[in-house]
Amino acid sequence: MPYLIDGHNLIPKVGLRLDSPNDELELVAILQDFARIKRQQVEVYFDGAPIGQAGSRKLGTVRAHFVRQGQTADNAIRARLVNMAKDSKNWIVVSSDREVQSAARAHHAQFVSAEEFVKMLKETRNSAPRSNTEEKRLSATEVDEWLEIFRQGRKRLG
Protein backbone atom coordinates (compact mmCIF):
# COMPACT_ATOMS: atom_id res chain seq x y z
CA MET A 1 0.00 0.00 0.00
CA PRO A 2 1.23 3.52 -0.73
CA TYR A 3 2.02 5.96 2.09
CA LEU A 4 1.09 9.56 2.96
CA ILE A 5 3.61 10.81 5.52
CA ASP A 6 3.55 13.79 7.87
CA GLY A 7 7.23 14.68 7.40
CA HIS A 8 7.91 17.04 10.29
CA ASN A 9 6.09 14.63 12.60
CA LEU A 10 8.44 11.82 11.51
CA ILE A 11 11.78 13.70 11.41
CA PRO A 12 12.55 13.60 15.17
CA LYS A 13 11.36 9.99 15.41
CA VAL A 14 14.02 8.81 12.94
CA GLY A 15 16.74 10.62 14.90
CA LEU A 16 17.00 13.76 12.78
CA ARG A 17 16.75 17.30 14.10
CA LEU A 18 14.00 19.66 13.00
CA ASP A 19 16.38 22.61 13.31
CA SER A 20 18.84 21.08 10.84
CA PRO A 21 18.90 22.88 7.48
CA ASN A 22 18.89 19.51 5.67
CA ASP A 23 16.36 17.63 7.82
CA GLU A 24 13.79 17.33 5.05
CA LEU A 25 16.27 16.05 2.46
CA GLU A 26 17.72 13.59 4.95
CA LEU A 27 14.25 12.21 5.63
CA VAL A 28 13.53 12.01 1.89
CA ALA A 29 16.73 9.95 1.43
CA ILE A 30 15.55 7.52 4.13
CA LEU A 31 12.12 7.33 2.51
CA GLN A 32 13.67 6.74 -0.91
CA ASP A 33 15.37 3.61 0.43
CA PHE A 34 12.11 2.47 2.01
CA ALA A 35 10.08 3.09 -1.18
CA ARG A 36 12.67 1.30 -3.31
CA ILE A 37 12.91 -1.75 -1.05
CA LYS A 38 9.15 -2.02 -0.43
CA ARG A 39 8.31 -1.01 -4.01
CA GLN A 40 5.68 1.35 -2.67
CA GLN A 41 4.63 4.86 -3.56
CA VAL A 42 5.53 7.42 -0.88
CA GLU A 43 4.30 10.99 -0.54
CA VAL A 44 5.69 13.15 2.25
CA TYR A 45 4.31 16.50 3.39
CA PHE A 46 6.36 19.28 5.00
CA ASP A 47 4.82 22.53 6.20
CA GLY A 48 6.44 25.94 6.57
CA ALA A 49 7.87 26.31 3.06
CA PRO A 50 8.94 29.91 2.42
CA ILE A 51 7.35 31.86 -0.43
CA GLY A 52 8.73 30.63 -3.73
CA GLN A 53 9.68 27.23 -2.36
CA ALA A 54 6.24 25.75 -1.84
CA GLY A 55 5.00 23.06 -4.20
CA SER A 56 5.44 19.40 -5.04
CA ARG A 57 8.63 17.80 -6.30
CA LYS A 58 9.45 14.29 -7.38
CA LEU A 59 12.69 13.39 -5.61
CA GLY A 60 13.71 10.01 -6.91
CA THR A 61 11.05 7.56 -5.79
CA VAL A 62 9.41 9.99 -3.35
CA ARG A 63 6.99 12.82 -4.04
CA ALA A 64 7.63 15.62 -1.56
CA HIS A 65 4.98 18.28 -0.95
CA PHE A 66 6.24 21.54 0.55
CA VAL A 67 3.26 23.35 2.01
CA ARG A 68 3.51 27.13 2.07
CA GLN A 69 3.82 29.07 5.29
CA GLY A 70 0.45 29.77 6.85
CA GLN A 71 -0.84 26.33 5.83
CA THR A 72 -0.17 23.00 7.50
CA ALA A 73 0.93 19.58 6.30
CA ASP A 74 -1.97 18.19 8.37
CA ASN A 75 -4.48 20.14 6.28
CA ALA A 76 -2.72 19.15 3.05
CA ILE A 77 -2.89 15.47 4.03
CA ARG A 78 -6.58 15.82 4.87
CA ALA A 79 -7.20 17.51 1.50
CA ARG A 80 -5.32 14.72 -0.28
CA LEU A 81 -7.52 12.14 1.44
CA VAL A 82 -10.65 14.04 0.39
CA ASN A 83 -9.41 14.22 -3.22
CA MET A 84 -8.72 10.49 -3.26
CA ALA A 85 -12.33 9.76 -2.29
CA LYS A 86 -12.82 5.98 -2.16
CA ASP A 87 -9.19 5.31 -3.16
CA SER A 88 -8.05 6.58 0.25
CA LYS A 89 -8.84 3.14 1.66
CA ASN A 90 -5.79 1.88 -0.27
CA TRP A 91 -3.35 4.23 1.49
CA ILE A 92 -1.54 4.24 4.82
CA VAL A 93 -1.20 7.58 6.62
CA VAL A 94 1.87 8.00 8.82
CA SER A 95 1.49 10.48 11.67
CA SER A 96 1.31 10.53 15.45
CA ASP A 97 -0.99 13.56 15.27
CA ARG A 98 -4.42 12.48 16.50
CA GLU A 99 -6.27 14.83 14.14
CA VAL A 100 -4.45 13.38 11.13
CA GLN A 101 -5.17 9.86 12.36
CA SER A 102 -8.82 10.80 12.80
CA ALA A 103 -8.97 12.13 9.24
CA ALA A 104 -7.41 8.89 7.98
CA ARG A 105 -10.00 6.89 9.90
CA ALA A 106 -12.85 9.06 8.56
CA HIS A 107 -11.66 8.43 4.99
CA HIS A 108 -11.17 4.70 5.59
CA ALA A 109 -7.40 4.92 5.14
CA GLN A 110 -5.14 2.90 7.38
CA PHE A 111 -2.79 4.76 9.67
CA VAL A 112 0.30 4.10 11.75
CA SER A 113 2.01 6.31 14.27
CA ALA A 114 5.40 7.80 13.45
CA GLU A 115 6.92 5.52 16.10
CA GLU A 116 5.43 2.40 14.48
CA PHE A 117 6.61 3.54 11.07
CA VAL A 118 10.17 3.93 12.38
CA LYS A 119 10.03 0.27 13.42
CA MET A 120 8.87 -0.58 9.90
CA LEU A 121 11.74 1.45 8.43
CA LYS A 122 14.29 -0.43 10.53
CA GLU A 123 12.79 -3.82 9.68
CA THR A 124 12.75 -2.93 6.00
CA ARG A 125 16.38 -1.79 6.00
CA ASN A 126 17.49 -4.87 7.92
CA SER A 127 15.65 -7.23 5.58
CA ALA A 128 16.91 -5.61 2.37
CA PRO A 129 19.37 -7.64 0.34
CA ARG A 130 22.86 -6.23 0.50
CA SER A 131 24.42 -5.03 -2.70
CA ASN A 132 28.04 -4.49 -3.64
CA THR A 133 27.15 -1.30 -5.45
CA GLU A 134 26.49 1.93 -3.64
CA GLU A 135 22.79 2.72 -3.26
CA LYS A 136 21.53 5.61 -5.35
CA ARG A 137 20.77 8.79 -3.50
CA LEU A 138 19.94 12.15 -4.98
CA SER A 139 21.52 12.81 -8.37
CA ALA A 140 24.04 15.62 -8.79
CA THR A 141 21.37 17.60 -10.64
CA GLU A 142 18.87 17.10 -7.80
CA VAL A 143 21.47 18.17 -5.24
CA ASP A 144 22.26 21.29 -7.29
CA GLU A 145 18.55 22.11 -7.54
CA TRP A 146 18.15 21.80 -3.77
CA LEU A 147 21.24 23.89 -3.07
CA GLU A 148 19.84 26.63 -5.29
CA ILE A 149 16.48 26.48 -3.50
CA PHE A 150 18.17 26.81 -0.10
CA ARG A 151 20.46 29.63 -1.31
CA GLN A 152 17.40 31.57 -2.49
CA GLY A 153 15.68 30.96 0.83
CA ARG A 154 18.67 32.21 2.81
CA LYS A 155 18.90 35.36 0.67
CA ARG A 156 15.24 36.13 1.43
CA LEU A 157 15.68 35.46 5.14
CA GLY A 158 18.99 37.30 5.44
**What are the pLDDT tens digits along the chain (158 aa)?**
999 999 999 999 999 988 888 899 999 999 999 999 999 999 999 998 877 888 999 998 899 999 998 899 999 999 999 999 999 999 999 999 999 999 999 999 999 999 999 999 998 888 876 655 555 677 778 888 888 887 776 665 55
Q: What's the pLDDT at 28?
A: 95
DSSP H stretches of helix in 14-158 = 23-38, 73-84, 98-106, 114-127, 140-157
Exposure of 35 in the CB half-sphere (CA atoms within 13 A): 23
Q: What's the pLDDT at 148?
A: 80
Q: What is the pTM assigned to this prediction?
A: 0.78
CB-based contacts of 82, cutoff 8 Å, min separation 6: 107
Q: Distance from CA of residue 141 to its chain's centroid?
A: 20
CA–CA distances in Å: residue 128 to residues 15, 106, 123, 135: 21, 34, 9, 12
CA–CA distances in Å: residue 30 to residues 56, 77, 126, 138: 18, 20, 13, 11
Q: What's the pLDDT at 124?
A: 87
Cα separation, 40 vs 27, in Å, equals 16
